[in-house]
Amino acid sequence: MAISMTTAAAERVRSFMQNRGKGVGLRVGVKTTGCSGLAYVLEFVDTLNDDDEVFEHDDLKLIVDGKSLVYIDGTQLDFVKEGLNEGFKFNNPNVNGECGCGESFTV
């Protein structure tokens, strides 16, 4: 089981973490909500929970709670630009269907 990220994503995460000045890593996960059932979570982490799994990516830590991992195992986190907008994108092999916006999905 693993979660990874592209070089572009890693660079941005590193810079955002440095800018924030605190935190142990980046939480990637899912929560049950949204128009298609599940939605992604992307948050800074200040304290680890008991059920968290930590994936090292060079000097960075990707943190996933055990329950989320089932839904996003094998996911690669990417950072992309679309016009003026830029941000993170989940390339999740488990996804069966997405809502039109890509913000929530079903497995």
Partner 1 sequence: MLLQIAEPGQSAAPHQHKLAAGIDLGTTNSLVAAVRSGEAKTLVNAQGRDMLPSVVRYTHDKVIVGDAAMAAAVDDADNTIVSVKRLMGKGYSETLALKDKVPYQLIDQQGLVAINTAQGIKNPVEVSAEILATLANTASETLGGELNGVVITVPAYFDDAQRQATKDAAKLAGLNVLRLLNEPTAAALAYGLDSGQEGIIAVYDLGGGTFDISILRLRRGVFEVLATGGDSALGGDDFDHAIVSYLQQQSGEVQLSHQQMRQYLTTARSIKEQLTDSDTVSFSLPTAGGVHSGTLNKADFEQLIGALVKKTIRACRQVLRDAGLTGEDIVKVVMVGGSTRVPLVRSEVAAFFATQPLTSIDPDKVVAIGAAIQANVLVGNKADGDTLLLDVIPLSLGLETMGGLTEKIIPRNTVIPVARAQEFTTFKDGQTAMALHVVQGERELVDDCRSLARFELRGIPPMPAGGAHIRVTFQVDADGLLSVTAQEKSSGVQANIQVKPSYGLSDDQVATMLKSSMQYARQDMQLRLLREQQVEAERVLEAVSQALKADAALLSAQEHTDINQALAELARVKQGDDTAAIKAAIEHTNHLTDDFAARRMDQSVRSALTGHNVDEV
Interaction site with partner 1 (CB under 8 A):
12-13, 15-16, 19-20, 26-27, 31, 33-35, 39-47, 80, 82-90, 99, 101-104
Amino acid present at 26: L
Query: In this complex, which beta carbon is closest to partner 1, that of residue 55 or of residue 90?
Result: 90
What share of residues in the chain are helix, strand, coil (percent, to 5)? 20, 45, 35
Minimum distance, C-beta of residue 66 to partner 1, in the bound complex (Å): 18
Cα distances (angstroms) measured from residue 86 to each of 39, 81, 83: 19, 4, 8
Query: In this complex, which beta carbon is closest to partner 1, that of residue 34 or of residue 53?
Result: 34
Query: In this complex, which beta carbon is closest to partner 1, that of residue 59 or of residue 82?
Result: 82
Minimum distance, C-beta of residue 67 to partner 1, in the bound complex (Å): 15
Burial of 27 (0-12, 13-18, 19+ CB in 10 A): buried
